[in-house]
Amino acid sequence: MKFSAQPTKTEKLMRDEDFIVSKTDTQGRITYGNRIFQEFSGYSEKELLGAPHNIVRHPDMPRGIFKFIWEELGKKNDVLAYVKNMAADGSFYWVFATMTPTFDSAEKVIGYYSVRRAPSRESVKTMEDIYRRMLAEEAKVKSAAQPEASLRLLKQVLDEKGLTYEDFILSI
């Protein structure tokens, strides 16, 4: 299946009672997506199942954020993040995501579970600015170096604030 939506300026706002839930295998392929995920993504259950979760990745998201997320999940840590997603029709929606590894009885990671809820508008504004700056850093270097370049900028922001990533995310 080919996913080729072009971004638009149309935003979908999550309702306070909405929770987007999805599960993936260890390769990031969707194994479950709830009704709210289907609604906001604009994809049917059939289109979502087996698809890479990055089908909802918006180009305004820096590569460095996803590198950070995958590194933390690889350490078996939970991760919190503000994410701008893109729907099948090119519209976008912001989420506050909690991502966590799923384990089997031998404590081996067998997939990932994510719950997303509506972020505050103030948090979105803060993250839009940081992500814009991270993308500018990525634009200065070759593709392979982009994630590290934007993560350096994020680390500078955190150092200036004297906060860890998690403390910063929880503070906004």
pLDDT digits (tens, 9 = 90+) for 104-123: 999 999 999 999 999 999 99
DSSP-derived letter for residue 9 is: S
Phi, psi of 95, rounded to the nearest 5 degrees? -135, 155
129: Cβ–Cβ under 8 A, 6 or more apart, which residues? none
Distance CA 107, CA 69 (A): 20
| 136-153 confidence digits (pLDDT tens) | 999 999 999 999 999 999
| 43-66 confidence digits (pLDDT tens) | 999 999 999 999 999 999 999 999
pLDDT, residue 5, reads 81
DSSP-derived letter for residue 25 is: -
- Which strands make up the sheet holding 30-33, listed edge to edge? 30-33, 20-24, 109-117, 92-103, 79-86
CATH topology of domain 20-171: Beta-Lactamase (3.30.450)
pTM of the model: 0.95
Mean per-residue pLDDT of the chain: 96
Structure tokens at 83: 């994410």
